[in-house]
Amino acid sequence: MDEIIEINLKIIHDGKPPKKMSSGAVGYDIFARLDNHRVLKPGERAAIPAGFAIELPESFEAQIRPRSGLAINHGITMLNSPGTIDSDYRGEVKVIIINLGQKPVTIQNGDRIAQMIVTRTTNTKIRIVENLFDTQRGKGGFGSTGYK
């Protein structure tokens, strides 16, 4: 069985804690914490408060990702996907969403607006070098490995 890491979470302004919606879910759904509903017109973006702050252990991060249902049904996604919550951040989590759809979308208090994945990170250090090892791909960029 996998090790369970406990994470401290503080509720802010009567927010709802993130919740796994099924036994096989990897992500915790995040709920909007709004005093009043928010209408997002096509092309409009907003930082929606999530109603909680989190205390992650060192060498962990929380990735905030879009919800597929909002994307396919309403054109709602995140501008900075995935958003990263660092282990030393203690402020309220907010989700930067945008309406890429054709119609205005209303976000209500308690709506599921994103999902959060908590994961370990690797401690790294950048080393400056003169040359990098060659590979078959080399400097080939976008689309350089083909479509199939």
Q: How confident is the model at residue 119 (pLDDT cuts 50, 70, 90)?
A: very high
The predicted pLDDT at position 141 comes to 78
Alpha carbon 43 to its chain's center? 20
> Is residue 146 scored above 90 in pLDDT?
no
User: Which residue type is seen at 33?
Assistant: R
The predicted pLDDT at position 1 comes to 61
Other residues' Cβ atoms within 10 Å of the Cβ of residue 148: 3
Q: Over the chain, what is the mean pLDDT?
A: 93
CA distance 67 to 64: 10
Q: How confident is the model at residue 46 (pLDDT cuts 50, 70, 90)?
A: very high
Tokens 């660092």 -> residue: 86
Q: Identify the CATH class of 8-120.
A: mainly beta
Higher-pLDDT residue of 6 and 139 is 6
Q: What is the pTM of this model?
A: 0.87
Among candidate residues 114, 68, 124, 69, the one with its CA nearest the CA of residue 93:
114
> Is residue 88 scored above 80 in pLDDT?
yes
Q: How confident is the model at residue 147 (pLDDT cuts 50, 70, 90)?
A: low
Per-residue pLDDT, averaged over 55-66, amounts to 96
Q: How confident is the model at residue 148 (pLDDT cuts 50, 70, 90)?
A: low
Question: Any idea where the domains of the chain sit in the sequence?
Answer: 8-120
Q: How confident is the model at residue 3 (pLDDT cuts 50, 70, 90)?
A: confident
